[in-house]
Amino acid sequence: MMKILTVVGARPQFIKAAPVSHALAEAGLTEVIVHTGQHFDAAMSDVFFQELDIPKPAYNLEVNSLGHGAMTGKMLERLEGAMQVEKPDIVLVYGDTNSTVAGALAAAKLHIPVAHVEAGLRSFNRRMPEEINRVVADHVSSLLLCPTQTAVANLAAEGITEGVHAVGDVMFDTTLAAVKRAEGRSTILERHGLTPGRYAVATIHRAENTDDPERFERVVAWLEAAALHSAVVMPVHPRTGKLLASRNPAPAGLTLIESLGYLDMVRLVSQAAAIFTDSGGLQKEAYFHRVPCVTLRDETEWVETIEAGWNRLWTDDGYTPRKEIPDFGDGQASLRIVDLLKAL
Ligand code: UD1
């Protein structure tokens, strides 16, 4: 029987892996989940496994809170060990984190085919650690599972045309599966006294925004200005939380709350008037709920959301006219992925 070894480690990967994991089980394939340990707080990791019914990882490599070299290096060594024990037929990696690149490299060096979910995304900004991770992961992958036609074209421009498939966006699968459950189970609006349609949601966590104090100040000042017009609720990533806690004066007008589980986040975003974020996933989730987004970055990989008028960069003046984005698919991306894995 075919054995898939899935590498996850950071919050967005749990969200992307959930529907694929369910589809693998339904198709009767064996999946061994390896958690690198990159995200380790209960609120950044465990809650996603519980709420999204992801099987417990067979391994937790406990690699976290290190610089890029040390983190990727330790992951590479420990992932290689797990892959040598498990001898999978395919290694499945997601997105663009250090866990992604370590999983892809470890497998490629052991001559195990790599399948990359969310292949082909490019910001064309090589100063982002994620951009390096994406390029490297794509170039050692055998199966490139693209969420959009733009991603397919980006790969073609780098000479990658074999094993490339536009399958739709797995995060849309996850969102569709969670919306009803979030309505029934999340108490996030009640806990924070929020009225649907009367608040914006902000998130900041990208190294490019947090690591340069001047840049971080510009972002916080932008959010403070936005908070003059509407309530701004900000679930905080651990690193951003530390920075904001030590900021003097405290950010004005922003309601800082704990980092949220998936169901709380789905409900919070679905009822928001606007999203302000530097997250890649949240730009799409804003569109899935048809909530307008402002991306607090100078470029985005998710150009479709800008072209379709649901998103704009903070440097842009306004939105283009709104339309639908068919690329993200029909909520069946994970089924297509499993079919392609079976065929590999
Ligand atoms: C990582 C990914 C980023 C992704 C993000 C999703 C890389 C290079 N970056 O960024 O692409 O968008 O995940 O959230 O892989 N921390 C905790 N508790 C946790 C997790 C992190 O305290 O559960 C702290 C770490 O100790 C560290 C900081 O947050 O000081 C940053 O964590 P790290 O894993 O290096 O990267 P992220 O910023 O989360």
Q: What is the rounded distance in angstroms from the CA atom of residue 264 to the CA atom of residue 184?
A: 11
Please check whether residues 162 and 190 belong to one and the same domain: no
Q: Is 8 helix (H, G, I), strand (E, B) or coil?
A: strand
The minimum-distance atom of ligand 1 relative to the CA of 100 is 15
Please check whether residues 210 and 64 belong to one and the same domain: no
Number of helices and strands in the chain (H, E): 15, 13
Which residue's C-alpha comes closest to atom 18 of ligand 1?
41
Question: What CATH number does residue 200 fall under?
Answer: 3.40.50.2000
Q: What is the rounded distance in angstroms from the CA atom of residue 189 to the CA atom of residue 273?
A: 13
Q: What distance in angstroms lies between residue 159's CA and the mean position of ligand 1's atoms? A: 31
Catalytic residue check, 237: no
Q: Which of 35, 49, 94, 205 should be mutated for ligand 1, with most atoms under 8 A from CB? A: 205
Please check whether residues 30 and 151 belong to one and the same domain: yes
The minimum-distance atom of ligand 1 relative to the CA of 281 is 12
| Closest by CA position to 329, among listed 120, 138, 146 | 146
Please check whether residues 149 and 265 belong to one and the same domain: no
**Where is 31: in which H helix or E strand?**
strand 30-35
Please check whether residues 94 and 204 belong to one and the same domain: no
**Ligand 1 surroundings by CB, under 6 angstroms:** 10-12, 38-41, 44, 64-65, 96-98, 129-130, 205, 238-239
Domain around 303: 175-327
Per-residue pLDDT of the chain (344 residues; tens, 9 = 90+): 899 999 999 999 999 999 999 999 999 999 999 999 999 999 999 999 999 999 999 999 999 999 999 999 999 999 999 999 999 999 999 999 999 999 999 999 999 999 999 999 999 999 999 999 999 999 999 999 999 999 999 999 999 999 999 999 999 999 999 999 999 999 999 999 999 999 999 999 999 999 999 999 999 999 999 999 999 999 999 999 999 998 989 999 999 999 999 999 999 999 999 999 999 999 999 999 999 999 999 999 999 999 999 999 999 999 999 999 999 999 999 999 999 999 99
Cα end-to-end distance, the chain, whole Å: 13
CB 76 within 8 A of CB 82: no
Q: What distance in angstroms lies between residue 206's CA and the mean position of ligand 1's atoms? A: 9
Count of the separate structural domains present in the chain: 2
* The two structure tokens encoding residue 60: 């937790």
Q: Which of 35, 205, 237, 289 is flagged as catalytic? A: 205
Q: Which of 7, 16, 39, 41 should be mutated for ligand 1, with most atoms under 8 A from CB? A: 39
Please check whether residues 241 and 143 belong to one and the same domain: no
Which residue's C-alpha comes closest to atom 2 of ligand 1?
97
Query: What is the greatest pairwise CA distance in the chain?
Result: 59
295 Cβ neighbours under 8 A, 6+ residues apart: 277, 278, 283, 306, 311, 312, 313, 314
Residue 187 has φ and ψ, to the nearest 5°, of -115, 20
Residue 143 is predicted with a pLDDT of 98
Residue 332 is predicted with a pLDDT of 98
Please check whether residues 113 and 228 belong to one and the same domain: no
Please check whether residues 195 and 118 belong to one and the same domain: no
Please check whether residues 217 and 335 belong to one and the same domain: no
Please check whether residues 115 and 207 belong to one and the same domain: no
Please check whether residues 22 and 77 belong to one and the same domain: yes
The position carrying tokens 């892996």 is 17
Residue 133 is predicted with a pLDDT of 98
Residue 329: C-alpha distances to residues 136, 230, 288 (Å): 26, 33, 11
Q: What is the rounded distance in angstroms from the CA atom of residue 290 to the CA atom of residue 272?
A: 10
Which residue's C-alpha comes closest to atom 15 of ligand 1?
97
Residue 1 is predicted with a pLDDT of 87
Please check whether residues 280 and 310 belong to one and the same domain: yes
Residue 313 is predicted with a pLDDT of 98
The minimum-distance atom of ligand 1 relative to the CA of 44 is 23
